[in-house]
Amino acid sequence: MPPPLGPGRPRSQRPSGPSPEEACPKRALCTLTPAAALRAGPGPPACTERPVASTPMCVVCFVKALVHVFKIYLTANYTYNFRSWPVDFRWDDVRAAAVGGSGHRALTCAAAAAGVWLLRGAALGGDAPGRPPRGARSQAQCLLQQIRELPGQLASYALAHSLGRWLLYPGSMFLMTRALLPLLQQGQERLVERYRGRRAKLVACDGNEIDTMFMDRRQHPGSHGHGLRLVICCEGNAGFYEMGCLSAPLEAGYSVLGWNHPGFGGSTGAPFPQHDANAMDVVIKYALHRLRFSPAHVVVYGWSIGGFTATWATMTYPELGALVLDATFDDLVPLALKVMPHSWKGLVVRTVREHFNLNVAEQLCRYPGPVLLLRRTQDDVVSTSGHLRPLPSGDVEGNRGNELLLRLLQHRYPSVMVREGLAVVTRWLRVGSLAQEAAFYARYRVDDEWCLALLRSYRARCEDEQEDEEAWGPHGLPFPWLAGQGLSPRRRRQLALFLARKHLKNVEATHCSPLEPEDFQLPWRL
């Protein structure tokens, strides 16, 4: 049992709640008020002196006082003593779970102590454009180049570990956490009391402790069976599971697993991409091995900067069921250049590439499963339009979610996203309202049934020709698909618009507005 809340805990740290003293009809006869019981701390209650000293505390008031004090003890220990909690799951517990009969193929890879695997492009230590290949340079040239780059590397490191991290992950700042503590506490109480949430401490491969909360709906899945699916929520740069994006799938009836970035809430460490990926790795393993969800029933939901860990998870565990990205971006560099001085461009690009390479689009293209992008039409956070001024209503042309969709469709359907197809989807992405979107779609007279029939016939033909079923991915025929070859320009436009509308949904909201439960939907499946 956790130690009870001692009498020395500051009043500001005690969870607030309605006092049962006011509800007692016999409080004039009570010799011990709930407030006095709380001040007395643990142990048997002591009576206070009153004129009616011989009258005992009434039964109703005693029961309410007991419940009130017990609730305060439980909540305070729950909130403030998480560091002393025992570990519920470790990243290397997978081996023990695998012995028990788990057959999840992607979970058998060993994680190194340095961290899990990340995609690293040429900008992260490779051969930059215009630079001679490493093999063509002498040792003296390499040494001289390293000496020349040393001041820039030091400046980049200093920026990343100070101002850069605070700007990119403000939720990891101690002052913000302290300021939000009452709201976080209320959020925890709500998840535990209303949804029977279970808090757990996970340990990632880098030793960071990850704070998680799980709401299980499998016993009451609802008429649509939503509770049988688990939605793993990846929060934004100032989001916590206590008050973050998990409210939409939770209110929609899904089972939900929320977790805090390293350095956020009860999680330890610092929110760098490698640490975030390490945390996401142990969260996925916990969901599959300890919570016993089938990979096909796991949906990863990433909001804002949480799109990085969401796409990393689905790239690394491609058998996961689906991916939903809400108000996220394709790459961090354009957004960083938007808010930093132009004279800092070289330093900003280097800092992002070396320390915060959130290459969401690149990771997204490596996931073969169903994907849905939610683009918020009043989002000025992930937009490069308007610089620091508020965006006009409906201005979505600079939203980085547009580039994310184009990259995804160009990877999956290269024969469709050429010339006419690419041009018509680019024009469709400039439409900023739902009514205009529907009118644009209708103008091209897109035949949904014809598009579906074309894609299904292509998939069936390829599956018949490909006899080796082991070459198929966890979601069937792997991408890219060459469907659409030989189509007329009009048909190519129609098919491109059909695919764009199936993969992206507009939501009339700002970046930080809570997503409505009806707006949280599972991706389209062919």
* Residues assigned a catalytic role: 304, 379, 475
168's CB contacts (< 8 A; 6+ apart) are: 237, 271, 305, 332, 356
What are the Cα distances from residue 295, in Å, to 29, 211, 292, 298? 60, 22, 9, 5
Sign of CA dihedral 411, 414, 419, 422: negative
Give the Cα separation of 134 and 61 in Å (integer).
Answer: 79
Contact of 208 with 188, CB cutoff 8 Å = no
| DSSP letter (8 states) at residue 134 | G
Which of helix, strand or coil describes residue 211?
strand
258, 247, 276, 262: which is closest to 177 by C-alpha? 262
Residue 341 in tokens: 């001085």
| DSSP letter (8 states) at residue 115 | B
**Residue given tokens 């939503």 in the structure block:** 226
444's CB contacts (< 8 A; 6+ apart) are: 424, 493, 494, 497
Compute φ and ψ for 494, nearest 5 degrees. Answer: -65, -45
What are 194-197's contacts with CB under 8 Å, separation 24+? 195/250
Residue 199 in tokens: 């808090």
Measured N-to-C along each axis, helices 400-412 and 420-429 cross at an angle, to the nearest 10 degrees, of: 150
Contact of 336 with 477, CB cutoff 8 Å = no
